[in-house]
Amino acid sequence: MGLVRYSLDDKPKSKSEMRTSYVYDDADDRIIFDYQQDIGEILASNREKQNLDDGYTKDRTMRRVARIPMVVVEKIMREQGWNPMDQNNSERLLQLLDDPDYAYLKTSHGRHSHSTRREYFRGSCSTKAVYLGDD
């Protein structure tokens, strides 16, 4: 029989939505999941927003950081073993966005991770008191 492809989507999706299907390989008795998404429009929008402004709202209380296609979320989960959409992984996600390989996901320029700066300041600040007065 060979490979048989089945769609897991019950209704037609827009071009930018992720489509999921699986292939059953009866020779190896295994299932292979296939995720597809046209991310061209999302990446074009990300580039446009990067060049628009610094990403902050008018009152500067919130900042637009990234728009991540679901197919990329799935790839990160599969290849790196963590969920970028989990709130507990927010700092890890910001570090990932600072990686040049993932810059295409950002919707504003600049460094988004805080741990690097925190470690730098923690390591560069001295707690030792120095007396500069007269003897």
**pTM for this model (two decimals):** 0.71
pLDDT value, residue 50: 93
Measured CA to CA, the distance from residue 33 to residue 66 in angstroms comes to 26
| pLDDT of 98 above 80 | yes
pLDDT value, residue 119: 39
pLDDT value, residue 69: 95
DSSP letters of 29-67?
A: TEEEEEEE---HHHHHHHHHHHHH--SB-TTSS-B--B-
At 93, phi and psi to the nearest 5?
-65, -45
pLDDT value, residue 1: 57
**What letter does residue 101 receive in the DSSP assignment?**
G
User: What type of residue sits at position 61?
Assistant: T
Per-residue pLDDT tens for 55-89? 888 999 888 999 999 999 999 999 999 999 999 99
> Which range in 8-17, 18-27, 33-42, 122-131 is most confidently predicted, on average pLDDT?
33-42
Coil/strand/helix, residue 7:
strand
| pLDDT of 135 above 70 | no
Coil/strand/helix, residue 127:
coil
pLDDT value, residue 72: 95
| pLDDT of 54 above 80 | yes
The answer to whether 3 and 24 have CB atoms below 8 angstroms apart is yes
The average pLDDT across 9-27 equals: 81
pLDDT value, residue 7: 78
Measured CA to CA, the distance from residue 36 to residue 29 in angstroms comes to 23
Residues 6+ positions from 25 with CB-CB distance below 8 Å:
2, 3, 31, 32
